[in-house]
């Protein structure tokens, strides 16, 4: 597991009444445990085993998100009326539509 650079999350599962360990790059896999630490340990071991199995079968292994390069650009399709409203808001604020969208996306992550 020394080269493990995948993206993990541990959260409480109300349905299972346990902590669930998840890996973003392998969305179909999870691990349940009574503590967050054991959930993380468990999902990391599952990923290690799955990656070893995939490599043994000459299958493509997902690239960790943390090692990918991102351009900072992506295309979003929105309804024309929303596009118009956002363009008007940007103009009224004296900023570009790109700046307005970036600020709104940043606020949604706060």
Question: What is the pLDDT, as a whole number, of residue 78?
Answer: 96
Structure tokens at 43: 């999902």
Residue among 35, 43, 34 nearest 9 (CA): 43
Q: Residue 10: its pLDDT value, please?
A: 98
Domain boundaries, the chain: 8-65, 70-108
**Is the distance from CB of 99 to CB of 90 less than 8 angstroms?**
yes
pLDDT at 1: 56
Quote the pLDDT of residue 3.
64
What is the predicted pLDDT for the residue at 91? 94
Q: What is the pLDDT of residue 18?
A: 98
| Residue 30, phi then psi, degrees to nearest 5 | -155, 170
Residue 99 has what pLDDT?
A: 95
Mean pLDDT per 10-residue interval, the chain, length 110 residues: 84 98 97 98 97 97 94 94 96 95 86
């Amino acid at each position: 597991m020394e080269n493990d650079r995948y993206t993990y999350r541990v959260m409480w599962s109300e349905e299972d009444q346990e902590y669930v360990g998840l890996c973003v790059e392998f969305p179909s896999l999870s691990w349940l445990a009574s503590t967050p630490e054991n959930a993380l340990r468990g999902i990391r071991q599952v990923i290690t085993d799955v990656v070893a199995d995939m490599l043994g079968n000459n299958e493509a292994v997902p690239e960790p998100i943390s090692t990918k390069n991102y351009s900072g650009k992506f295309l979003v399709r929105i309804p024309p009326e929303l596009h118009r409203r956002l363009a008007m808001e940007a103009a009224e604020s004296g900023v570009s539509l790109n700046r307005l969208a970036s600020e709104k996306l940043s606020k949604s992550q706060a």
